[in-house]
Amino acid sequence: MFGEIDRPLVIALSKGRPLLAQLDLLAKLGITPSEDIGKSRKLVFPCNHPKVSLMVLRGHDVATYVEHGIADVGIVGKDVLLEFEGDNFYEPLDLKMAQCRMMVAGLVDEKPLPRRLRVATKFIETAKRFYAAEGTQIDMIKLTGGLELAPVMGLADRIVDIVETGNTLIANGLEPKALICDISSRLIVNKVAFKTKQAVIDQLIQVLTEHTL
């Protein structure tokens, strides 16, 4: 696909459920790891192309490695990017994979809300921006899991979380109250790599664009 690559290209992928779709997409471009990633504990994998390697990391770490130029490009969820503080990368392409929504949710039969809301989430910065734009005062409660339980047990008035089907909300007596934004996997590119490896990265973006239309 890339012809003769002058400089090695490092691609960081997000581990977990999105990984298989990311590998399938790269396979369509002719990029395949030299061994089964699903059966290995390694984090860096050589590929069929000698100058392309893959890193498999947690989503936030993908952004960090691309931010610092250890990886040239990465595939990571928009939810991670909304929380990430760095800006040393571009976000040129929505890959339209792992699509879901960032939602505000609360009890179906909720009591009248106080003027100052208690909001439980792990997406702290995203929630702050949303409620600031709404002009609503909030107290943040950081949780990393079991968010649906917070309104049920009276810990919080609302939650901010990723919603795919909405079935978990329904099962816990919750419902969506507001859409914050749509979430999907995005391609990010280190700013320095975009200059020093522009030809190959431009080609990668072009081919990925064709496969995501």
Q: What is the CATH number of the domain that holds 170?
A: 3.40.190.10
Strand partners, 188: 74
Residues 154 and 170 in one domain: yes
Q: What is the DSSP letter of 27?
A: H
The model's pLDDT over 88-144, given as tens digits with 9 standing for 90+, comes to 999 999 999 999 999 999 999 999 999 999 999 999 999 999 999 999 999 999 999
**DSSP-based three-state secondary structure for 141:** strand
pLDDT tier for residue 186 given thresholds of 50, 70 and 90: very high
Query: Does the residue 33 lie in any domain?
Result: yes
Residues 13 and 83 in one domain: yes
Query: Does the residue 84 lie in any domain?
Result: yes
Query: Does the residue 1 lie in any domain?
Result: no
Q: What is the pTM of this model?
A: 0.91
Residues 106 and 160 in one domain: yes
* Distance from C-alpha of 181 to C-alpha of 195, rounded to nearest angstrom: 31
Name the nearest CA neighbour of 161 among 172, 12, 24, 153. 172
Non-local CB neighbours of 114 within 8 Å, separated by 6+ positions: 157
b vs e for 118-138, b when ≥16 Cβ sit within 10 Å of the residue's Cβ?
Answer: bbbbbbeebbeebbeeeeeeb
The model's pLDDT over 55-68, given as tens digits with 9 standing for 90+, comes to 999 999 999 999 99
Residues 123 and 145 in one domain: yes
Residues 91 and 113 in one domain: no
Residues 151 and 169 in one domain: yes
> pLDDT averaged over the chain?
94
Query: Does the residue 208 lie in any domain?
Result: yes
**DSSP-based three-state secondary structure for 205:** helix
Burial of residue 161, with CB atoms counted within 10 A of its CB: 0-12 exposed, 13-18 middle, 19 or more buried: buried
Q: What is the pLDDT of residue 1?
A: 58
Range of the domain at 198: 9-98+184-212
The mean-pLDDT minimum among 29-43, 75-89, 96-110, 195-209 falls in: 29-43
* Distance from C-alpha of 166 to C-alpha of 60, rounded to nearest angstrom: 24
* Distance from C-alpha of 177 to C-alpha of 94, rounded to nearest angstrom: 26
| Mean local confidence (pLDDT), 163-171 | 94
Task: Assess whether pLDDT exceeds 90 at residue 40.
Answer: no
Structural domain total, the chain: 2
